[in-house]
Amino acid sequence: MRVAIDARKLHDFGIGTYIRNLLRHLARADRETEYVLLCLEQDMPVARQLGENFRAVREPSPNYSLREQIHVPWVLWREKPDVFHAPHYVLPPAVPCRSVVTIHDCIHLRFPQYLPNRAAWLYARASMWSAIRRADRVLTVSEASKQDLLRYFGVRPDKVVVTYNALDERFGRTMDEEAIGRVRERYQLHHPFVLYVGTVKPHKNLVRLIDAFEGLRREGFSDLKLLIIGDEISKYPALRHAVHQHKLHKHVRFLGFQSDDTLAVLYKLAAAFVFPSLYEGFGLPPLEAMAYGTPVVTSNVSSLPEVAGDAAVLVDPYDAIDIRDGIRRVLTDQALRDTLREKGFARARAFSWVRSVDQTLAIYRDVANRNGRSANAS
């Protein structure tokens, strides 16, 4: 069997994590299948690191471009794979082989107001619609996302398979006190702090998190800080405005993206991890925090209750007061903190890339072995 995988988003924040773990675990689980990776020029060496049955071919087309609609099918025609896996929602109509597509979420359809224009919404919807109908199998990363796909596109339930995300192996590793001390001193972390990790896009709901944090400080948590790890604040003026409005310049810190080692220490040192997102296809950061024993407060919507289970305090993300109260509970109730810590460790271990990639490999084999292309009608 020969499987082609589009690896151009290898270094993206969310989809990149999915692709990296997919490839890593396929390399460990399967030495028989020939894997052809469609890569950008700078990522061509990745295939050699994975194993002898991995081979890279150059695919220079930008994502979401007209060129990829033509060039990706041409590469596939030349390479003649049995199955092509598109790890995001763009599946060019002229793909000449059986196909599997992963659609991680329906964020563009749920929150079209966050897209730059109506054309972007139309492109996303049309691309998803086409991919779902043309693909032999659709993968997604949570039951919540599957239900969104069924609702928006009327796809057959048996065509959509949930293969959960999981933690990278680097999360949950022990760290020495010297490394912790270096990060503490570098960022002057001498007060308790609440941590958020992720992008700072509007649906992440950080304005309400800042409102909730301001409410905590007014209630007497005067030493508490809020650390936000992710994009630069300059990209989203609403966040800057919220900080200015509440006069929190000295208490809310935007640190940008951090290395894995630094991020691990921040998770471990945080008094609480708060993730009040309005929508997630899966939502890895709460699991990452759990792996370090940090109590988690997260939203009671979309996939987040499914991911967090009973190992987090769930709050209404549309209500800053409820977010504030959830954080306060975690900060003041030691018994709750201890319970969340123990349940969090177990919850983080409940999701497995080995299991998800084995499931994906079985789907490749099933699709490749079918007699003729499956029906693409919904």
pLDDT at 126: 95
Q: Judge whether residue 256 has pLDDT over 50.
A: yes
**Partner residues linked to 160 by β-bridges:** 138
Domain locations along the chain: 2-166+353-368, 177-350
For β-strands 2-6 and 34-39, DSSP reports them as parallel
Q: How far apart are CA 350 and CA 306, in angstroms?
A: 12
Alpha-carbon distances, residue 155 vs 108, 130, 137, 159, 202 (angstroms): 18, 11, 11, 7, 29
Mean pLDDT value across residues 240-263: 89
For 25, the token pair is 């675990």
Mean pLDDT value across residues 55-73: 95
Q: What is the pLDDT of residues 292-310, one digit of tens each?
A: 999 999 999 999 999 999 9
DSSP for residue 219 = T
Residue among 85, 69, 70 at smallest CA distance from 33: 85
Cα dihedral value 317, 319, 322, 324, nearest 10: 90
Residue among 349, 319, 305, 14 at smallest CA distance from 147: 305
Q: Judge whether residue 24 has pLDDT over 50.
A: yes
- Which residues lie closer than 8 Å to 105 by C-beta, 6 or more apart? 140, 141, 145, 148, 279, 280, 281, 282
Q: How far apart are CA 255 and CA 193, in angstroms?
A: 13
Give start and end residues of each alpha helix (H) in 41-195.
46-50, 66-79, 107-110, 118-134, 143-153, 177-186
Q: How far apart are CA 340 and CA 1, in angstroms?
A: 45
Least confident window among 13-17, 53-57, 161-165, 307-311: 13-17
pLDDT at 238: 84
Mean pLDDT score of the chain = 93
Mean pLDDT value across residues 46-57: 96
Query: CATH number for the 2-166+353-368 domain, one of 3.30.300.30, 3.40.50.620, 3.40.50.2000, 3.40.190.10?
Result: 3.40.50.2000
Mean pLDDT value across residues 93-101: 97
Are 353 and 18 spatial neighbours (Cβ–Cβ below 8 Å)? no
Q: Specify the length of the chain in residues.
A: 378
pLDDT at 371: 54
- Which residues lie closer than 8 Å to 293 by C-beta, 6 or more apart? 268, 341, 344, 345
Q: How far apart are CA 85 and CA 1, in angstroms?
A: 13
For the whole model, what pTM was predicted?
0.92
Q: How far apart are CA 297 and CA 309, in angstroms?
A: 12
pLDDT at 233: 66
Specify the amino acid at residue 175: M
| Whether the domain at 2-166+353-368 and the domain at 177-350 fall into the same CATH topology | yes
Percentage of the chain beyond pLDDT 90 is 82
pLDDT at 163: 98
Are 8 and 87 spatial neighbours (Cβ–Cβ below 8 Å)? no
- Give the phi and the psi of residue 179 in degrees, each rounded to 5: -65, -40
**Arch. (CATH architecture) of 177-350:** 3-Layer(aba) Sandwich (3.40)
Q: Quick one: pLDDT band at residue 237, thresholds 50, 70, 90? A: confident
- Which residues lie closer than 8 Å to 272 by C-beta, 6 or more apart? 194, 195, 294, 295, 296, 297, 327, 330, 331
pLDDT at 376: 40
pLDDT at 14: 83
Are 365 and 1 spatial neighbours (Cβ–Cβ below 8 Å)? yes
Are 209 and 297 spatial neighbours (Cβ–Cβ below 8 Å)? no
